[in-house]
A and B are shown apart, each in its own frame.
Chain A
């Protein structure tokens, strides 16, 4: 079944319905990771990037491939290794002997969806090569800025177990990611459904992405992002988002809290959340729903809390509990 590719001008209802269809389509491939799909979709609609943390083999690559297939967009994957160079990511200029001129060879970042696999395996210099493209959505090669195709989204992955020989992402880079998503193990029923889906009449252990349909075009995604950006946010809700971010700076158990970019990210993600819910305005619950993935990588847990075995989600939840809901 091939869906009709919609035109870029969209209403809120259309955008919301498309978001739901994309969710359903990806869920066919990535079984049992509803929250991950939902949060990835929120990041896509808000025009942000995501950092996915989870042990290997949970379908991080499959998620990106399925998303690329569903939005009929380009997909590229970079496996980060300690010897990866910045030019391997962004591209470089090569002298063409035959034509006696310099040719620009664009790197893998020139795509719609970029999977930066095990991003913490490369040194900080290489990681920083992603900074410009994530922030500016353009790459400068030899002084010339080259825009990347829109919509552009980076999905970086991290493995929480093997920390030996890794380079933790610098705070400046972490701040560029709109959401940090945890991907966990599926339940028994979901795993059974996954095994059935992957092993039914096929060779190999990969999900057949050909079974997925393209729901929208990249242009339609840009249109959906436009619709998201126009969703109303009451001043009380903005105030609530800012108070939550402020509270992380004062809250006990945190070495440092989130910066102003955290408040901005909260409102952006809450808008996308409202669109996924089919609403044209944001209410405080949207902020609360996205607060954990938005803030968990922007704060740092105090060493004593780490020793006690707590995680950032625990402290953030306590911050959310203590922050007063908006007054109307």
Chain B
């Protein structure tokens, strides 16, 4: 790509003018720019929607937001080519996608650099220049000297524009919704009081609105950042002057080519012009005025030096400003200690650390994949209505706090049974079972659950033998609680005998606690 192919006028602009140029670039090329970008965004949004469990729909927007650096790369690919008068198709963009993913620093952009506020400004260095390591650092340092603050403001502005788009879409819906449900939903969003189970479609609408906002705003953001970058390069490398010289060179070359045929006339013209200028007062005046800039008297070097010193001693050249800055006290010491290690050792340690970091990153990704269910469960707070499972203290009028139970439940129940207190004996066993289910096995039992509901809840997570025990115990408890009939001794005996086996997990937990 040559500078001469640029389809913008290369000149020094202010940063805001450069941002405006970026917006104009999108307006001019949106027809070619949008199809591949829209397709990519749609594909990713669909994948996110299909892969994420229903309950995690509120974080779908977050996932798409996190993947913005990927969309930026595709947009910059299209924009950079359009800037040089190429018109890539959507197919070209998708063909280049693997390269954009693997060779443009996407991994770092999606991880430790994801929260960078100058993303679109720095992206061309990664993607178009392909710089890495020290050159990249140096280039970034130079780029940051000017334009960085504008890039930050650009990012902040675009974030707000996205919100404006989303809120405008809501306002549109509000105008057509006579029920007020949308208004309630918006208020709930701000209150953080959204029930995913009952408002699934509304949450899906939120997601769609956010996608639309990204679809509209992101191209402008990338283009504006790109133009800021081009403007800075123009300043640094004098592209405008280079182009002016090239144009001049081309023009002179053209003249030289045509010069052979017009040489006689040119000679005549020069002769005529020289005679004309020699007799023109204006020219004479110009040469005189040129002399005015020079001193009439040429001083010897020693005297000139004295005069210069006198001039330099004037107040205008001695305006001193005092600037205070923090300097590390042990700076010299640190510098000295740095010299103790040779450059090779430092490089070795750096590469070792870099390799370790990469290995750690790969291991982290693998672990994240393996333990994705667990990680998703940590994201559970995003389910607004989901409340942490807190074991109730009283259920069916029974005190089911662990501390309310005796140490030997089966023994105490047997004593109660032998003392003719069948109801108390069964109540104790049932309470014990509820304590195990709620505290040890984290079963989410609510006050609205009946005994049958608890059996249904416990079935999937309880082994067959323990489930049979629980079912028998529930049946006997229901009989004594609601029919006021005591069970036969042969019915209660297996329950008393099998209690220890049923509470095995509880005992194991207590043992573990004791050891800890």
Contact = CB atoms under 8 A, between A and B. Distances in A.
Interface of A: 232, 234, 236-237, 280-285, 288-289, 304, 307-308, 310, 320-328
Interface of B: 179, 181, 198, 396-398, 446-453, 478-479, 481-485
Nearest to B480: A328
Nearest to B184: A304
B450 A285 contact: yes
Contact of B450 (A232, A284, A308, A322): A284
Nearest to B446: A321
Nearest to A325: B450
B479 A281 contact: yes
A21 to B, nearest CB: 24
A284 B483 contact: no
Contacts, number: 63
A232 B482 CA distance: 8
Contacts of A328: 396-398, 481-482
A148 B352 CA distance: 96
Contact of A234 (B179, B448, B483): B483
Contacts of B453: 285, 288, 325
Nearest to B477: A328
A76 to B, nearest CB: 38
Contacts of A289: 452
B173 to A, nearest CB: 14
Closest 5 CB pairs of A and B: A285-B452, A327-B397, A281-B483, A328-B481, A284-B450
A189 B179 CA distance: 43
Given A308-B181, A327-B397, A328-B396, A280 B483 contact: yes
A122 B43 CA distance: 54
Contacts of A323: 448
A324 B448 contact: yes
A328 B450 CA distance: 12
Q: Which of A282, A320, A328 has the most CB of B within 10 A?
A: A328
Given A234-B482, A322-B448, 16 more contacts: A234-B481, A236-B482, A282-B482, A283-B452, A283-B478, A283-B482, A284-B452, A285-B450, A288-B450, A288-B453, A304-B181, A321-B446, A323-B448, A325-B450, A325-B451, A327-B397
A220 B403 CA distance: 54
A269 to B, nearest CB: 16
Chain B interface SS verdict (over half): loop
Contact of A304 (B179, B448, B450, B479): B179
A228 B481 CA distance: 20
A15 to B, nearest CB: 17
24 contacts: A232-B482, A234-B481, A236-B482, A237-B482, A281-B479, A281-B483, A281-B485, A283-B450, A283-B451, A283-B478, A284-B450, A284-B482, A285-B452, A285-B453, A288-B452, A289-B452, A304-B181, A307-B179, A307-B181, A308-B181, A321-B448, A322-B448, A323-B448, A325-B453
A241 to B, nearest CB: 12
Nearest to B201: A309
A55 B372 CA distance: 44
A326 B398 CA distance: 11
Given A304-B179, A308-B181, A325 B449 contact: yes
Contacts of A327: 396-397
A283 B476 CA distance: 12
Contacts of A284: 450-452, 482
Given A234-B483, A236-B482, A320 B397 contact: no
Contacts of A320: 448
Nearest to A284: B450
Q: Which of B478, B479, B484, B485 has the most CB of A within 10 A?
A: B478
A228 B179 CA distance: 47
A324 B447 contact: yes
Q: Which of A237, A280, A284, A310 has the most CB of B within 10 A?
A: A284
Contacts of B446: 321
Nearest to A282: B482
A237 B481 CA distance: 10
Given A283-B478, A321-B446, A325-B396, A234 B451 contact: no
A194 B162 CA distance: 57
Contacts of A282: 482
Nearest to A321: B448
A244 to B, nearest CB: 10
Contacts of A283: 450-452, 478, 481-482
